Structure 1
């Protein structure tokens, strides 16, 4: 399988406002293809909203951004096609009752259903199956997930995986679609120091293979391009500025100042329900792309939504990997 070419990420004055105020505002990013970009900040500082906005899952309110040369918010559907979500709580959760093999098989089927050309669908079944196995094997290798080390090998249920193993599985599922941009939320949550180092090594491997990586974290490594978000401050105005972003290594890309002036992150609002919070803050995406269903159900195409609607926001956030 060819190494995917990463998507450059650029933003200036990028912001998203919901009913509770600004989730983030004034964000500036310049990251080259294949960069490892860490979105660093405390919980509630707009990190997840920024991650979802940069992958075309939430509609920004102001500023400009481009992902792989595709302008946001005008080309949100196109950005969703070239990006993939790893673990994002409340958006792309794994089913704890399914096994590792079932998750992989389901994602391969979805990929073939929604991303296959007519020519590919007309190829012999054995050839298509071999290609799908090759994609899965390559994704597992990139994610560093060795099923032989799991308690029941490929028959291990997600509920029995360690936190780092679950992260590797989520990344592998996202990589099956060969995205140009990979987004990972809360990547260092509930990890020991040793596991955190392994998790960052995993994301460096993905970035080194050519895929741009956006990772939300509480503490960024020194070799990442860093975008910092800060909690809302009373009286913050349009020109408010947050802590300057830093880049302390030769990784490609540079980052300018970033701030988050809002009060709510996806996981923190609307009666504790992540989906409800996302609906409250998101605005609908653009032209209708089929969103992936969580368990191999065929997704219905979305219409062209220009206004803020619960239906459009829920559709934009219902994806498990790539739309």
Structure 2
């Protein structure tokens, strides 16, 4: 039976064991293993094209893994992908959950609140008077905006500001607010620090820490992770030395290197490890990640 939104358990633990996804031309990522408790901040770090987005989408039930297993909030992947989608939400993910540049901030917020009420509300909520439903939606929007640190009054035209007129940091805050309207147990954000100044990057990580501190687990793709995040790295060449393991969580490393000696297959090797010696794996490629995205219709 579906519970009221406010009664849902908060924060989803994420566990991966030998998790991998292979496309027609190679592995997008492979042998990823880690554990993150509810309310953890998990940074998927590495260069563009190293399988970061595919891993993000697989862990939120948007792409089907082909190797290993994972659990999100106790729900096994890939068997319970639909259930994982119901408890997770995407912030900005280019090509998957982008903001419409022609929409205003208000239009995006109203649309998301209406969808939330229509598809995720209880029968009792749907039977409320229109004025009560509108007030509840407004409260939900205001709470999400506050949590995302977006003040509409500070925008050029308030909530009537078009997305195309937003700065990148403001757009990221809006995408997080839209995701938070659904009160998810897990939020995933791609390209977290792309095209941001050092000061804005610091603000973004502070924002994601506050979301995690509220109990919502956060997965964030980035080029460089903060020291306090549980880090999964995808690197060209040899893996860098890992920092000390955070208390209560296992540190994870993923290795990605490029092979140049094969004519029909390009790519590198991705490997995640928590302990023990490294083992050679099959090639992991940017093309493999693109193929895996293409299979979902999101390329």
Q: TM-score, with normalisation over the residues of structure 1? A: 0.78
Whether the aligned pair in 2 keeps the contact of 1:97 and 1:157 (CA below 8 Å) is yes
Whether the aligned pair in 2 keeps the contact of 1:13 and 1:64 (CA below 8 Å) is yes
Q: CA deviation at 1:264?
A: 2.2
Whether the aligned pair in 1 keeps the contact of 2:26 and 2:287 (CA below 8 Å) is no
SS of residue matched to 2:231: strand
Q: What is aligned with 2:266?
A: none
Residue correspondence of structure 1 range 169-318 to structure 2 within 5 A: 169-231=174-236, 246=243, 249-250=246-247, 253-259=249-255, 260=270, 261-264=283-286, 269=290, 278-280=293-295, 313-314=296-297
1:119-150 deviation line (CA, Å, top 9, x unaligned): 22112222221111111111000000011110
Whether the aligned pair in 2 keeps the contact of 1:10 and 1:30 (CA below 8 Å) is yes
Q: CA deviation at 1:4?
A: 6.0
Q: Which runs of 5+ in 2 are unaligned?
A: 256-269, 271-282
1:166 to 167, 171, 180: 171
The whole-number CA distance in structure 1 between the counterparts of 2:251 and 2:94 is: 26
The whole-number CA distance in structure 2 between the counterparts of 1:136 and 1:24 is: 36
Residue correspondence of structure 1 range 23-42 to structure 2 within 5 A: 23-42=28-47
Residue correspondence of structure 1 range 33-112 to structure 2 within 5 A: 33-112=38-117
The whole-number CA distance in structure 2 between the counterparts of 1:67 and 1:52 is: 12
Whether 2:149 is the aligned partner of 1:149: answer no
Q: CA deviation at 1:248?
A: 5.3
Shift of the 137–247 alpha-carbon distance from structure 1 to 2, 3 Å rule, reads farther
Q: CA deviation at 1:243?
A: 5.8
The whole-number CA distance in structure 2 between the counterparts of 1:50 and 1:209 is: 24
Shift of the 211–4 alpha-carbon distance from structure 1 to 2, 3 Å rule, reads farther
The whole-number CA distance in structure 2 between the counterparts of 1:155 and 1:125 is: 23
1:188-242 deviation line (CA, Å, top 9, x unaligned): 00000000000000100100100000000000000100011235x8xxxxxxx96
For the pair shown, the structure with the greater C-alpha radius of gyration is 2
Q: How much is the aligned-residue C-alpha RMSD, in angstroms?
A: 2.2
Q: Which has the higher strand share?
A: 2
Q: CA deviation at 1:256?
A: 3.3
Q: TM-score, with normalisation over the residues of structure 2? A: 0.84
Q: Which runs of 5+ in 1 are unaligned?
A: 234-240, 271-276, 281-312, 319-323
Q: CA deviation at 1:102?
A: 0.6
Whether the aligned pair in 2 keeps the contact of 1:7 and 1:180 (CA below 8 Å) is yes
Aligned residues: 268
